Structure 1
Amino acid sequence: MSRIVYTEDPSELTRYIETWYHSRHREQLSWLADLAAKVERVHAGHPEAPAGLCEALRRMIGEIEVHMKKEELILFPAIRNGGGADISEPIAVMRSDHEKHATDVEEIRRLTRGPSLPEGACRTWATLYEGIEEFIADLEEHLHLENDVLFPRFEAQQT
């Protein structure tokens, strides 16, 4: 179920992104990394175990945290102050980060085969993959709001 909120007010949109997506990603990734570690440990001998998933999620925790801090401390305050001539560089950096996040999601999909559970998977494994699907959907909504709704409003100021 999509929770995307469209608003004409960029300040309101940045606050929504922070309070909904940023806080969710912080919760989701830590929890998912812990679940992945458990599944990888318990099912280490299973040919379809998501070997390397915990490591990929932990790496993503650091990358996304740095990204969100840049938004919270630099880009979003600039947007709330109306943008201006200096906003194009931070937006370009965020778009580049978003491309990296999309690559990370593809790696997660590869490690989890979709995500697709093997026959007879335990409840923890199923919970992990359900959480992965939810995280990916949330991240894709987050990136869409920024890339396709928020950023173009300020990139248009530059032309």
Structure 2
Amino acid sequence: MNDQQTPIEELDTDALLEIILRGYDAGHMAKLPELHRLARKIEAVHRANPKVPKGITLAIKNLQHTLTDHIEREDAYVLKRMEHDQPPNPDTPIAQMNEEHSILKKQLGKLRQMTGNYRAPESACRSWLRFYRELKALDHRLSEQIYLERDVLFPRFQF
């Protein structure tokens, strides 16, 4: 019996699309409203604490808006066109998606910088700790997804 798993980079296109759409995209869309709620709570409850990253709620809201718009465009105009290894359509906006990936990476970098790389102060409450833990997980998963799209999936459709 062979217990070895196929590396994700070697999965066929439809399996990779399934992971991106059902795993990553759905997970991000479910997590972002919760992160926004936690950010609002932390900024409100701890507003007098100088260690609270000022503007974190707005930064999360901006990420949520950018990511939601990106996912909608990418699903409709890029990923659906790649199902069953269809030949690339010349007007598939892969370059635009990669530009948007760069914008998302910058927003994640700003969040890392604002939060001291997701290190909460010793005075942080459970909600604050959870917020940083969940935000760090989102950063990691979104970075993984960008890698899969930019370096694994999209090159299959570019000549």
TM-score, length-normalised on structure 1?
0.90
Deviation string, structure 1 residues 25-58 (Cα, Å, up to 9, x no partner): 1111111011000001111111110211111111
1:129 matched to 2:141: no
Whole-angstrom distance in 2 between the partners of 1:8 and 1:132: 28
Provide the rounded CA distance (Å) in 2 between the counterparts of 1:98 and 1:151: 12
Q: Which amino acid aligns with 2:128?
A: W
Structure 2 CA distance, aligned partners of 1:40 and 1:72?
33
Corresponding residue SS for 1:83: coil
Equivalent residues in 2 for 1:3-42, closer than 5 Å: 5-42=8-45
- Of the three residues 145, 149, 157, the one matched with 2:148 is 145
Alpha-carbon separation, structure 2, partners of 1:14 and 1:94: 15
Which residue matches 2:122?
Answer: 119
Point out 4+ residue stretches in structure 1 off by more than 6 angstroms: none
Q: CA deviation at 1:85?
A: 4.5
Q: How many angstroms apart in 2 are the aligned matches of 1:113 and 1:40?
A: 16
> Could you tell me how far 1:126 is from its partner in structure 2?
0.3
Per the TM alignment, residue 8 of structure 1 is displaced from its structure 2 partner at its CA by 3.4
Gaps of 5+ in 2: 1-6
> Please, which of 63, 78, 83 is the counterpart of residue 87 of structure 2?
83
For residues 102-133 of structure 1, give each alpha carbon's deviation from its aligned partner in whole angstroms, at most 9, with x where no partner exists: 00001101111111111221111000000011
Aligned length: 152
Q: Which amino acid in the other structure matches residue 93 of structure 2?
A: P
Seq. identity, % = 29
CA contact (8 A) 2:118 2:132 kept: yes
Under a length normalisation based on structure 2, what TM-score does the superposition of the two structures give? 0.90
45 and 70 in structure 1: CA distance in 2 versus 1, 3 angstrom threshold: same
Compute the RMSD of aligned alpha carbons. Answer: 1.5
* SS in structure 1 of the partner of residue 119 of structure 2: coil
- Specify every segment of 5 or more residues in structure 1 that has no aligned partner in the other structure, as ranges: none
